[in-house]
Structure 1
Amino acid sequence: MKGTPAVPAGGSTSAASGGDSPSTLPSEVPDDLTPEQLAAQWEEEKPPAAGALANAASSLVVLGVGIGAVILSVSMGLGTPDKPQPGLWPFIISCVMVALGLFQLILGRHNRDAEKFTRMSAAPLTGLVTLAAMVALMPLIGFELPALVLCLIWMRFLGGETWRSTLVVSAAVVIAFYAIFVLALNTSIPHLF
């Protein structure tokens, strides 16, 4: 009919529902997209693909970390399967890392699914560095302060949480770890209090 507003498929007009319907908001994806249309939309929105150099660089990093971990795990002692020493499981995992790094280095050059390095690519590195700093500081000053700082950095700067939720959750995590590992289990984890 002339003069009648068109009703979107699966939704209603704002006049009929008394307000904006969630399915008619312009920022949302309509519910009636076909799988082909959805795949085309995802293809348009995905970040640019990494090149062969970026794929090789990431493979070399995995390979380097894996080889370093193999050396460290061997120095801890492997033992035997029936009497394992502390380095056995890290050694097995490190060997898997080395194999995956080699596989990616050889066959990953033609991978078109890898994303180009962006500013957000530094987030995992930041997480790894702060975790290593916490492990290094724990024997010196206990786990409470390093764990609190780690939670603050991860939640606020890597996770983008609000300061209020960051402070509350970080404090709750440290208190929970203290209650479980120091008070309840009486473990030998280094602690200040």
Structure 2
Amino acid sequence: MSTSDPARPPGAEPADADLLQAEADRLQAEMEEARPPHGGPISQISAAVVALAVGVLGMAGSYALGLGQLTQPGPGLWPFAISVVITVLSAVLVVTGRHLEDSERFSRASVQVAVGVVTLVGLAALLPVIGFEVPSLLLMFIWLRWLGKESWRSSIVISIAAVAVFYVLFVLLLQIPLPRLI
């Protein structure tokens, strides 16, 4: 056995390395076949512009919350910092993204993303009205059952357990003043 091939694991025979490479090539080909078609430059730029708008709106909203100072940060400081990163990266994609090929055509998966965003917005809207318990439970259940295709039982159990853990962690232990029913 030669130790000159850095790609071959120690103790592997040349035939083993060839089999591993053939399997890796087969899996790569399967992944390429399963990949949705490229959306084209308009899709790529459109996605970047939407992300840019989200970043700018995030910066405006977090600035309205108050940034504070680095020694005494306000509630909007971290959302503002994250929104700046989103805005800068999106602006870079607007400029350079035309030649990239990582956007996909709209498909059923696109609808799932939209449902995820709508349910997240629903959580944010219901949170101050009825607390975090019920909206969080519904969000978890919808994401697990319909977006994640989990069974009814596991969706119910995981949703209830996750909200209970969040309640204990954030409300009881960390004493974060979340709007809540209980």
TM over 0.5: yes
> How many residues matched?
166
Note if 1:137 corresponds to 2:126.
yes
Question: For residue 3 of structure 2, what is the aligned residue in structure 1?
Answer: none
**Which residues of structure 2 form unaligned runs of 5+?**
1-14
Once the two structures are superposed, residues 62-90 of structure 1 have per-residue CA deviations (whole angstroms, 9 ceiling, x without a partner) of 01101111111221222332332222222
Question: For residue 40 of structure 1, what is the aligned residue in structure 2?
Answer: 29
C-alpha separation in 2, matches of 1:174 and 1:73: 26
Structure (1 or 2) with the greater helix fraction: 2
Single out whichever of 181-190 and 138-147 deviates more from structure 2.
Answer: 181-190
Once the two structures are superposed, residues 38-85 of structure 1 have per-residue CA deviations (whole angstroms, 9 ceiling, x without a partner) of 433433332211111111110110011011111112212223323322
Which secondary structure does the structure 1 equivalent of 2:113 belong to?
A: helix
Q: Please report how far the alpha carbon of residue 137 of structure 1 lies from its aligned counterpart in structure 2 after TM superposition.
A: 1.3
Question: For residue 106 of structure 2, what is the aligned residue in structure 1?
Answer: 117
C-alpha separation in 2, matches of 1:184 and 1:172: 16
Larger RCO (CA within 8 A; separation ≥ 6) = 2
Question: For residue 97 of structure 1, what is the aligned residue in structure 2?
Answer: 86
C-alpha separation in 2, matches of 1:88 and 1:176: 27
Note if 1:151 corresponds to 2:140.
yes
1:9-20 map, 5 Å: none
Which secondary structure does the structure 2 equivalent of 1:83 belong to?
A: coil
1:81-96 map, 5 Å: 81-96=70-85
Identity %, equivalent residues: 42
Distance 1:110 1:188, change over 3 A: same
Question: For residue 66 of structure 2, what is the aligned residue in structure 1?
Answer: 77
Q: Which amino acid aligns with 1:105?
A: V
Q: Which amino acid aligns with 2:88?
A: A
Distance 1:88 1:183, change over 3 A: closer
Which secondary structure does the structure 2 equivalent of 1:86 belong to?
A: coil
1:158-173 map, 5 Å: 158-173=147-162
C-alpha separation in 1, matches of 2:50 and 2:127: 27
Distance 1:130 1:103, change over 3 A: same
Q: Please report how far the alpha carbon of residue 31 of structure 1 lies from its aligned counterpart in structure 2 after TM superposition.
A: 6.3
Once the two structures are superposed, residues 134-193 of structure 1 have per-residue CA deviations (whole angstroms, 9 ceiling, x without a partner) of 122122212221111111111011101111111111122222223333444444222222
Structure 1 or 2, whichever has the larger Rg, is 1
Question: For residue 174 of structure 1, what is the aligned residue in structure 2?
Answer: 163
Question: For residue 52 of structure 1, what is the aligned residue in structure 2?
Answer: 41
**Which residues of structure 1 form unaligned runs of 5+?**
1-8, 11-29
Task: Give the alignment's TM-score, normalised by structure 2.
Answer: 0.79
Which secondary structure does the structure 1 equivalent of 2:58 belong to?
A: helix
